[in-house]
Structure 1
């Protein structure tokens, strides 16, 4: 095993650590949003707006059907800004929710602290892995680096096992050795 292999392994571990932080953050953020939405009665508001929009849509469609019976009136080319077009934008709860969420900005301390903790944790992971990698690269050999990593608490057993049983791969490209040593001498 080489120090370079250890560095590559550490870089993968760093990615894993960052991914785990993102998962934890997403879970915490989802829980926060669920609690916030409950406190702000967002789902109840969405349901009520949906009910009212559905009623308005029914009224508008009845009116439009009546217009179609009037000679010379064409309702097939509704404009982008027409009432029926605007109501159709709000014809499902997800769109209503999206528009409701644009009515406010969440600047609560809880959300700011959650985001700050995520950023700080990611920065610390980055900083500490940079330090560990620098220490590994500056060590005399891979054996010393392995001992150092084990003292830090890294479980290298899978990496050591893989190194003891390397996977051999078939050569994929044919090589004509007569073109490797022009001049006749192999050095």
Structure 2
């Protein structure tokens, strides 16, 4: 194995390490959001708003059906700003959830710390691999580079 191959291998290991941090962060973030959503009663709010919107939609549709029976009244134009159109924007829980989530910004210390820890960990990985790669490149030959990596606890592919 050449020094260049060792460097390529280290770059791949660096990428793997970063990917693992991203997976761990995504898992921690998901757990944080689940806990936050439970504490803020987001799902209960979505369910209640959905129930009320569904009731409003039913009332509006009954009224619209009654209008259709009146000669000369056309209910098919459906202006963009009409009640029917506005209610249809909120016809499923995902849209309601999206709009509810726009009602606040999560600036909690817990989330800031989680994001800061992710960034710091990624910076440390980058810094460490830059140093190790620089050391490998400065080695006299691949054999001494492999010995150096083994001292660091790495098992190089040979």
TM range (shorter): over 0.9
- Deviation of 1:70 after TM superposition, in Å, equals 1.2
- Deviation of 1:42 after TM superposition, in Å, equals 0.4
Matches of 2:79 and 2:18 in 1, distance apart?
A: 49
- Deviation of 1:72 after TM superposition, in Å, equals 1.4
- What are the superposed Cα offsets for residues 61-89 of structure 1, whole Å, 9 maximum, x if unpaired? 00111111111111111011111111111
Matches of 2:20 and 2:81 in 1, distance apart?
A: 46
Q: Which has the higher contact order (CA 8 A, sep 6+)?
A: 2
SS of the residue corresponding to residue 105 of structure 1 reads: coil
- Deviation of 1:113 after TM superposition, in Å, equals 0.1
The Cα RMSD (Å) is 0.5
Matches of 2:80 and 2:10 in 1, distance apart?
A: 55
1:78 aligns with 2:78: yes
Matches of 2:144 and 2:87 in 1, distance apart?
A: 69
- Deviation of 1:13 after TM superposition, in Å, equals 0.3
Q: Which runs of 5+ in 1 are unaligned?
A: 154-187
Total equivalences in the alignment: 153
Matches of 1:37 and 1:74 in 2, distance apart?
A: 43
Larger Rg: 1
Q: Which runs of 5+ in 2 are unaligned?
A: 154-158
Matches of 1:3 and 1:86 in 2, distance apart?
A: 64
- Deviation of 1:59 after TM superposition, in Å, equals 0.2
More helix by share: 2
Matches of 1:71 and 1:43 in 2, distance apart?
A: 44
Matches of 1:70 and 1:151 in 2, distance apart?
A: 88
- Deviation of 1:51 after TM superposition, in Å, equals 0.4
Matches of 1:49 and 1:98 in 2, distance apart?
A: 12
1:18 aligns with 2:18: yes
Matches of 2:105 and 2:25 in 1, distance apart?
A: 19
The TM-score, its normalising length taken from structure 1, stands at 0.81
- What are the superposed Cα offsets for residues 66-120 of structure 1, whole Å, 9 maximum, x if unpaired? 1111111111110111111111111111111110000000000000000000001
Matches of 2:37 and 2:135 in 1, distance apart?
A: 47
Matches of 2:11 and 2:148 in 1, distance apart?
A: 16
